[in-house]
């Protein structure tokens, strides 16, 4: 398989640390990984960790002056062969479904013509909420791909559907999309 540019979006979920394993596996396959973190994701994982694993600068601040005179969200969108949001919170799903672009990740996703794979991770009540489900359906109808969360232990201490899908399943789905 030809090596691709994959943008990994990391949002504010306790599952953010699992993006590290995803990045490692994709880099081992030779893919170029570019990370975009939401400001809230930085409460769960550091830029240094993601930069070390990806081998690239981590993006996050939409209004920080770029190294080159390009518009960050547009250039990132154009570089991406695939955008993977892992983990995806109810917040980021809702913002994308509503067309809101108030951070670098949402602006990049909305600017891109590349496939987008979303891997939700959240409390089961949040995931099952009618609004969250409506937002997911809106995005699916628009062509966005999802890998559903699984039943498992949640950060709140409960067991329910909302646990991030297993890494093997996410990697298989990425490979399928890239073919």
Q: Can you give the CATH number for the domain in which 137 is found?
A: 3.40.50.1950
Neighbours of 175 (CB within 10 A): 12
- Average pLDDT in the 88-116 region? 96
- Alpha-carbon dihedral angle through residues 98, 102, 108, 114, given to the nearest 10 degrees: 0
Average pLDDT over residues 161-176: 95
Predicted confidence (pLDDT) at residue 89 exceeds the cutoff of 80: yes
Quote the number of domains for the chain.
Answer: 1
User: Are residues 20 and 54 in contact, defined by beta-carbon separation less than 8 angstroms?
Assistant: no
Query: Of the residues 20, 35, 101, 156, which is catalytic?
Result: 156
- Which pLDDT band, with edges at 50, 70 and 90, does 96 fall under? very high
Query: What are the DSSP E strand ranges found in 12-115?
Result: 32-37, 58-59, 82-88
What is the rounded average pLDDT of the residues 117-130? 96
pLDDT of residue 65: 55
Residue 156 annotated among the catalytic residues of the structure? yes
Please give the pLDDT value at position 69.
Answer: 53
Report pLDDT for 67. 60
Give the domain extent around 166: 5-178
Residue the block writes with tokens 């937002």: 135
pLDDT band, residue 130 (cuts 50/70/90): very high
């Amino acid at each position: 398989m030809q090596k691709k540019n994959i943008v990994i979006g990391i949002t504010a979920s306790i599952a953010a640390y699992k993006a590290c394993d995803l990045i490692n596996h994709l880099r081992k396959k030779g893919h170029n990984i570019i990370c975009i973190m939401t400001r809230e994701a930085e409460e769960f994982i550091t830029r240094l960790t993601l930069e070390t694993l990806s081998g690239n600068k981590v993006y996050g601040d939409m209004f920080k002056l770029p190294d080159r005179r390009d518009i960050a969200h547009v250039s990132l969108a154009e570089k991406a062969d695939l955008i993977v949001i892992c983990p995806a919170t109810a917040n980021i799903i809702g913002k994308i479904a509503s067309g809101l672009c108030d951070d670098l990740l949402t602006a990049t996703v909305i600017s891109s013509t590349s496939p987008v794979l979303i891997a939700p991770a959240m409390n089961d009540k949040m995931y099952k909420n009618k609004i969250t489900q409506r937002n997911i359906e809106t995005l699916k109808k628009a062509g966005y791909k999802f890998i559903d969360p699984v039943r498992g232990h949640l950060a709140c201490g409960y067991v329910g559907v909302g646990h991030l899908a297993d890494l093997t399943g996410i990697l298989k789905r990425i490979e399928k999309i890239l073919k």
